[in-house]
Structure 1
Amino acid sequence: MEETKVKKFDLEDTLKKIFIILAVILLIISVWGVYTSLNELISIWIGYKYAPIYRTLLNLAVLVLAIYVLNLLVRKR
């Protein structure tokens, strides 16, 4: 009886991990899409003189957000 419970929990844990990995992959793809779209919007809406400034600010915001998320993940362990 206990073996089936252990196998059931292992299967559930494995499926949860697979779904989490798939969700992270989809999240990365969607973030990349938003990032490229924002860069295109900057090049369309902002004058060519000021576009590099806004791109730099966007890249800086992405960098700060990535460092914050990595910091949360490292501290969690």
Structure 2
Amino acid sequence: MTKNTALTIFMVLLVIGMMMEETQGKTCHDYIQAEHCEINQCNQECSTKWKGVGVKGSCEPPGFEPLDQTCLCSFNCGN
């Protein structure tokens, strides 16, 4: 009886854990081509293109001049 209860609890926790991982989603990326990258404009363009929660724009690669950077959008793949 104790083994059955322990196995049932384990299976329930396993299923809940799998569901939580699935609902968290994955992060996708997309580049927006522009002549130069400004972080505020990049964030705005990313938010406009990929509507939803968790959209973020960044100028890549970091530490370079804006003319050498590209806007990289990060967003939930479900968007």
Asked if TM exceeds 0.5, the reply is: no
TM-score (normalizing by structure 2) = 0.40
More strand by share: 2
TM-score (normalizing by structure 1) = 0.40
RCO greater where, 1 or 2, for CA within 8 Å and sep 6 or more?
A: 2
